[in-house]
Amino acid sequence: AVLAFTLGSLSTAFSDVVIDSIVVARARGESQALSGSLQSLCWGSVAVGGIASSYFSGSLIETYGTKYVFGVSALFPLLIACAALLVREDPFDEKKRALEAETADGEARDGETVGGQLVELGKKLWAVGKQRRIWAPTAFVFLWQATPNPGTAMFYFTTNELGFTPEFLGRVALARSVAALVGVGVYNGYLKKVPLKKMFFWSAVVGTALGLTQLMLVTGYNREIGISDQFFSLGDTVVLTVLGEVSFLPVLVLAAKICPEGVEATLFAALMSVFNAGGAASGALGAALTSYLGVTAEDFTNLFWLVLICNLSSLMPLAGLRWLDEADKEWEGEEDAVAALKEGGSD
């Protein structure tokens, strides 16, 4: 079972990288608005899938059982194979292929082992990634994602202290999926032409302000003004999810913008790895801060300060906004590094 899940995840990840490269290639040379529309289309589709999964998965499991649900889920990846037939690709020049093959044969690759190829690809990625046009925006993306998160502590607070049931949490998950779709629509309809620096600035400021509303739930102030915990939590989740989606899509537009032509899949996948590493750092910092403040699954005495610190830390990445200016600079003097990555890349 573990091997099957691993192979399934690997196949999904491989397809995701190919799709990302196609989207980045289609957006190359186009306006920020078109790039935003393409990303909105992709993540809007993800949101629709999340809505369908949240709505139907529970009832299908209760009615037909887990084997049936796994069987149906296994059919959906076949749709990707069918969709691949619709992708238009320019025919590859056979003479160019032969020339590249001769060049590759002349480079001693340590017996063409997988490990040796990975090391060589890593060197080529470093040759491109060390350019300021790449690492500066990438560092900002990492900082944007790496601020501490009180999510785990808030989960235990809502379940152990407020008594939220699994049924209600399922409704929250459904509302979150719908809100994600709304966020994609808001960005695509009204915000895709807004400059990236302005988007990130106001996303951080508004996100911090709205995130502080969680303090009302922690202190119980919402009940004092006549709003139940369930209704307040549901509304808060919807608003924060919409804002989160609006602030997430510019990250994808930025990542697509800084990828040089011909190595879209390789470099975009590397940038998304940095983004995911920031998410892991966010969870680790949140866990460390939770432990330092003594917040546990039963003791929420300092939860107020945990939520406050985590939300205010969301303003810290604004110090690196100037790094985004590098994304608008043209490639100068880095053609050799990009060409080397093309030879060893996967595009």
Segment 38-70, tens digit of pLDDT: 778 887 887 888 777 777 776 777 788 778 877
Q: Which tokens is 120 given?
A: 């060589």
Q: What are the DSSP calls for 266-286, one per residue?
A: HHHHHHHHHHHHHHHHHHHHH
pLDDT band at 133 (very low <50, low <70, confident <90, very high): confident
pTM above 0.75, yes or no: no
Q: Which tokens is 208 given?
A: 């911090």
pLDDT for residue 148 is more than 80:
yes
Looking up tokens 């939860």 gives 303
Q: Which tokens is 18 given?
A: 């190919």
Looking up tokens 């880095």 gives 334
Long-range contacts of 218-223 (CB under 8 A, 24+ apart): 218/157, 218/300, 218/303, 218/304, 218/307, 219/304
Phi and psi at residue 101, to the nearest 5°: -65, -40
Q: For residues 86-96, give the mean pLDDT.
A: 63
Provide Rg for the chain, Cα atoms. 23
Q: What sign does the dihedral 158-162-166-168 (CA atoms) show? A: negative
pLDDT band at 150 (very low <50, low <70, confident <90, very high): very high
